[in-house]
């Protein structure tokens, strides 16, 4: 009788160990899958941030060029008014006449 009880206890212990091993393996698989998803999510976020950074860098570069050209244009109109050049936007006919007079006199802006 004690033999049957000990065999039953050993069999029950083996079943419990197998069940615990199965649950541990499933949990380990879920954790590793979660880590893989998290890693791919982080990589995706990093890629997205890099792309966004490149886009912003391009926009800032274009903005810098635009501001620079605006300063250059503003500087040309200021330096042009210092030597008697009329504003081409305000009075295009006067500017055209002034430019033709310069060309006839042989003065070229370079």
**Which pair of structure tokens corresponds to residue 34?**
């979660």
Distance CA 101, CA 105 (A): 6
φ, ψ of residue 76 in degrees (nearest 5): -65, -45
Please list, in sequence order, all residues whose beta carbon lies within 8 angstroms of the beta carbon of residue 102, skipping any fewer than 6 positions away.
Answer: 108, 109
> pLDDT for 45-87, tens place per residue?
899 999 999 999 999 999 999 988 888 887 765 444 556 788 8
pTM: 0.39
């Amino acid at each position: 009788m004690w033999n049957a009880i000990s065999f039953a206890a050993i069999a029950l212990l083996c079943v419990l160990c197998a069940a615990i091993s199965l649950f541990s393996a499933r949990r380990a698989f879920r954790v590793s899958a979660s880590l893989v998803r998290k890693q791919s999510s982080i990589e995706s976020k990093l890629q997205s941030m890099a792309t966004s950074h490149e886009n912003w860098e391009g926009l800032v570069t274009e903005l810098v060029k635009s501001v620079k050209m605006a300063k250059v244009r503003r500087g040309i109109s200021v330096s042009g008014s210092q030597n008697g050049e009329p504003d081409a936007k305000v009075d295009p006919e006067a500017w055209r006449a002034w430019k033709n007079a310069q060309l006839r006199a042989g003065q070229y802006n370079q």
